[in-house]
Amino acid sequence: MSREREMSGNDCAPFLRWAGSKRRLLPILKTFWTSKHARYIEPFAGSACLFFALKPPRAILGDINSNLIATYIEVKYRLPAVLAELQKLRPADKNEYLRLRSADLATLTRPAQAARFIYLNRFCFNGIYRTNLRGQFNVPFSGVQCGSIPKDDLLRKCRSQLRTARFVNADFESVLKEAKKGDLVYMDPPFAVQARRVFREYDPSTFTLRDIGRLRGWMARLNGARINFVVSYAESDEADLLRKGFAYQTVSVRRNIAGFAGHRVQTHEVLISNL
């Protein structure tokens, strides 16, 4: 069954795959949004699956990944041009994948860059976003088991919801500075866990153990300003630091850790909030 069909009811499915996606936790996460909230803020946007499921009237989506944010902007403002570029590509073709992966972005139009990002995202190994020291995407081709290029109707549906969002390409602190009372802030950072190896979506410099203190400081700051937040994090010593003094619940999630169905395992994550 495709990821699009796994979404139930009137949910709007995300058009990107993302390692560590919280789509399996949506039934729980959606309960944190109430009629008292006027705006949704997510500083680690990724596939933004909770945003698409909630359909908030207003939102700020932030991420340090400039290519991700640029793709959202193109889908929002220039979707017909993005669709035209996607139609030129051969689905699930390794040679096409490698050609696009090595392409010089400077030679591509903005819609073509967005189509490239979507294509690589859909056919890369396990939805991973990783770059080398030169900032070049270097995740290997995974193949047809990843699914397909998003359907035009899905992208149009996502475009409709993205019209409610403003985008910020910056570190999470820059996004959180815009939060105010009446917002719901959802923070799902890449996991940085010292006790064991946990996959992180970006280069390790993006979110490290040093950033845990910054995140904890912002949780206290938001709480002091009476701004509602939810943080999701891997069960760990770092999660113990983050949840101290706040309400939390531990949930079990089945994750495809190695990228193959036979290597799926149950992991535990902590949902921390001041609601």
Dist. CA 184–CA 207, nearest whole Å: 22
Asked if pLDDT for residue 202 goes beyond 80, the answer is no
Provide the pLDDT for residue 204. Answer: 45
Q: Which of 8-17, 85-94, 153-162, 197-206 has the lowest mean pLDDT?
A: 197-206
Q: Which of 1-5, 172-176, 255-259 has the lowest mean pLDDT?
A: 1-5
Q: Which of 6-10, 16-20, 75-79, 208-212 has the lowest mean pLDDT?
A: 6-10
5 falls in which pLDDT band (50, 70, 90)? very low
CATH superfamily of domain region 3-273: Vaccinia Virus protein VP39 (3.40.50.150)
Provide the pLDDT for residue 195. Answer: 47
pTM (2 decimals)? 0.89
Task: Tell me which residue of 57, 60, 23 sits closest to 185, measured CA to CA.
Answer: 60
Dist. CA 253–CA 22, nearest whole Å: 9
In 10-108, the DSSP E strands lie at 39-42, 59-63
Provide the pLDDT for residue 256. Answer: 60
Three-state DSSP state, 196? coil
Of the two residues 2 and 260, the one the predictor is more confident about is 260
254 falls in which pLDDT band (50, 70, 90)? confident
| Residue range 85-144, pLDDT digits in tens | 999 999 999 999 999 999 999 999 999 999 999 999 999 988 888 888 888 899 999 876
8 falls in which pLDDT band (50, 70, 90)? very low
Provide the pLDDT for residue 52. Answer: 98
Asked if 150 and 115 touch (Cβ cutoff 8 Å), the reply is no
In the chain, domain spans: 3-273
Asked if pLDDT for residue 20 goes beyond 60, the answer is yes
**How confident is the prediction for the chain on average, in pLDDT?**
88
